[in-house]
Each structure stands twice: as C-alpha cells, then as structure tokens.
C-alpha cells in the first residue's frame, strides 16, 4: 500500500505548498518532477523487474507502468525471452584422441506468476549470479566424462546419446536456479586435425579401392561378353561355312550328273577333277581381272600336265588358251 501512497503524496506536494502560500512553488514543482521520474518504472514486454525495499526483496513488476518509492526502493531486471548459448568442450577419447563437441543451448526464465521467494523469477535473480558460467561448467563436466568412454570412431555415432544425457542433467540443474531449458542441439563433433586428415585418407583409399573393384568387375563382364560374342560369331561362321560346303557339294553333284548324261564314257573321278580345275581357273581369272600386277606362285602344282592329258576338254583347261 505504501508504494501507491508515496507517489500520490509526491504529486500533491506542489498543490499543498500553493495552498499554504509558500511562494517557492516553482522550485517545488521541479523537485516534484524529479521525484516522479525517480518513482516511475516502465517494464517492456518479455521482461520483469524485482523490487527491493531497503535491500530486501519486496515484489515483482511486470510489463507496463509501475511505481516505486524513490531512494527507498531499487529494481533489478530479468529477461524472459529465449536466449542462445553456444558451448564447445574439448576432451580426450578412450584411445587418446582429442575430440571437440560443440553444443547450442537455448534457455529462458519462465514467468510462473509466483511473486514469492519460491518463484522462478526470484530464483533466477537471487540464486545465481551468472547462469552461463553454471551451464558451461555443467556441460563441460558431463561431456568430458562421456567423451572418455568412447573411442574416436564411436563418438560420431553417439550424437543422440550425448544430446539426451546433457539435456537431462542440464534441465534439472537449470530448474534449481529458476531457468528452463528449451532445447539442446549437438552443433558439431570434430577430432584433432591430424586424425581427421588420416580418417579422410582412409575413406579416400577405400573409395579408390571400391572404384578399382568396380572397374575390374566391369572389365571382366566386358571380356565375358566379348568372348560370348566371339563364340557365337565363330559358331555362325562355321555354320555358314558348313552350309557353303554343302551347297558346293550339291552343285558339284548336279554338275557331275549333267556331264555324265552328256558323255556316259566319263567316270566320276575325271568329271570331279575337271570341275575342280575349272574352279581354279575361274579363281585365277578373278584375281587377274581385279589386280593387274598380281603374281601367283604354285607349289607342287601339276594342273597344267593334268590339263594337257585330257583330250576332249583340252580347250577349256589348256594353259596356252588361258595365257
């Protein structure tokens, strides 16, 4: 009640002085304005102020226009909005590798509308001087104990476990001082630069190995496909040659039968020899017509003598007629 009477009394001082005929009313007005300015406290949104009367906690001021007793009461401001606090902790893993874990802590003071000493606002102002120092020490203690339990390879897979453990410990710790934890994010997990370079080298080597294996497998598949294609082409070639020989044999048979019908005194061996010699002569003719400077060398060839021994067909196979 005193906090409402005093500001009202300060406002009424100049009028009282005027009513009693005091002539220094101008000085009184100036003093009164100064006192009013000292008694007014405007609290902005997402902020509160605690009021101390002669150094002892009295009440909490919330957003809007508020009054205090000048010179007898003082205030302390506490922000209610969420604040971001980045933390990086260095530790040694179980295999003696230096690891760095970066966290991002988001915290705030929640107005629980409790104006007593048990409220969150009172605790956040009077229970701790620097909340960030407390959070840093708590996180540092927890993380160092966790890092030493992991190897440098395991620590990258433990992000969720680290987050859950730190969040649980820090939430309880902050609540005892009137603060509330919004969230924690594991911002980064790093190892010593030399170890990171070695790990990257291992990964690079593994990738090169996989690439080489893939390339070898692809080359193997290509060779198998080429061998299969070559096999199929040879099969087709031999089938074609076999068919060609069959057709040639059939042609020779038809020719032999025709020659036998024209002259039954000729036997099959002479007729066949005649057909073979005719085929050779045709081949020589084709070579001579396509390549003008072509030369033919015979090895153990008796075509001319066999041709000269024939009597009836000597004009077809005699070399003198061909040259």
pLDDT digits (tens, 9 = 90+) for 12-41: 666 666 666 555 666 666 777 777 788 888
Domain that holds residue 25: 2-78
Beta carbons of 107 and 131 less than 8 angstroms apart: yes
| 89 and 185 share one domain | yes
In terms of domains, do 90 and 168 share one? Answer: yes
To the nearest whole number, what is the mean pLDDT of the chain? 76
Q: Are 184 and 197 members of one domain?
A: no
200 and 178 within one domain: no
Same domain, 51 and 8: yes
Confidence of residue 51 (pLDDT cuts 50, 70, 90): very high
Last residue in a domain, options 262, 277, 296 = 262
Q: Which residue has the tokens 């001579």?
A: 288
Q: What is the pLDDT of residue 220?
A: 79
Residue with tokens 């003082």: 74
The confidence score (pLDDT) of residue 179 equals: 92
* pLDDT at residue 321 in the model: 37
- 166 and 254 part of one domain: no
Confidence of residue 272 (pLDDT cuts 50, 70, 90): low
Instruction: Quote the pTM value.
Output: 0.56
14 contacts: CB under 8 Å, gap ≥ 6? 25, 28, 29, 32
Which of 262, 285, 303 marks a domain boundary?
A: 262
Counts for the chain of helices (H) and strands (E), in that order: 10, 8
How many CB atoms lie under 10 A from the CB of residue 73?
Answer: 21
**Phi, psi (degrees; rounded to nearest 5) at 77:** -95, 140
Domains held by the chain: number: 4
Q: Are 14 and 29 in contact (CB under 8 A)?
A: yes
**208 and 238 in a common domain:** yes
Last residue of a domain, one of 213, 247, 262: 262
**Residue 230 burial by Cβ neighbours in a 10 Å radius (0-12, 13-18, 19+):** exposed
According to the model, what pLDDT value does residue 310 have? 43
**Are 232 and 150 in a shared domain?**
no
User: How much is the pLDDT for 19?
Assistant: 62
Residues 74, 87 within the same domain = no
Instruction: Clarify whether residues 186 and 97 are in a common domain.
Output: yes
Pair of tokens at residue 277: 């010699």
Q: What is the pLDDT of residue 169?
A: 86
Pairwise CA distance, residues 167 & 185, whole Å: 9
Query: CATH code at 125?
Result: 3.30.479.30
Token readout for 199 is 């790990």
Q: In the predicted model, is pLDDT for residue 232 greater than 70?
A: yes
Tell me: do 170 and 203 sit in the same domain: no
């Amino acid at each position: 009640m005193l906090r409402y009477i005093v500001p009202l009394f300060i406002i009424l001082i100049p009028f009282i002085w005027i009513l009693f005929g005091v002539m220094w009313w101008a000085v009184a007005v100036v003093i009164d304005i100064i006192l009013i300015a000292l008694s007014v406290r405007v609290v902005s949104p997402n902020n509160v102020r605690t009021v101390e009367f002669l150094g002892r906690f009295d009440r909490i001021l919330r957003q809007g226009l508020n009054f205090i007793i000048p010179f007898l009461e003082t205030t302390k401001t506490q922000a209610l909005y969420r604040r971001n606090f980045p933390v990086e902790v260095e530790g040694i893993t179980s295999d003696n590798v230096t690891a760095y874990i970066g966290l991002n802590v988001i915290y705030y003071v929640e107005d629980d509308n409790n104006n007593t000493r048990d409220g969150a606002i009172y605790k956040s102002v009077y229970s701790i001087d620097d909340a960030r120092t407390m959070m840093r020490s708590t996180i540092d203690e927890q993380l160092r104990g966790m890092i030493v339990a992991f190897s440098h390879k395991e620590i990258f897979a433990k992000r969720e476990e680290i987050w859950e453990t730190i969040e649980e410990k820090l939430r309880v710790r902050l609540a005892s001082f009137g603060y509330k934890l919004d969230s924690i994010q594991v911002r980064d997990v790093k190892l010593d630069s030399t170890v990171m370079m070695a790990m990257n080298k291992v990964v690079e080597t593994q990738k090169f190995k996989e690439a080489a294996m893939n390339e070898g497998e692809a080359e193997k598949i290509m060779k198998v496909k080429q061998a299969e294609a070559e096999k199929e082409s040879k099969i087709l070639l031999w089938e074609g040659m076999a068919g060609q020989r069959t057709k040639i044999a059939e042609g020779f048979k038809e020719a032999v039968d025709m020659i036998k019908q024209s002259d039954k005194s000729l036997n099959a061996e002479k007729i066949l020899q005649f057909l073979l010699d005719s085929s050779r002569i045709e081949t020589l003719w084709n070579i001579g017509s396509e390549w003008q400077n072509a030369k033919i060398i015979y090895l153990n060839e008796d075509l001319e003598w066999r041709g000269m021994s024939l009597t009836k067909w000597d004009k077809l196979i005699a070399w003198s007629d061909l040259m």
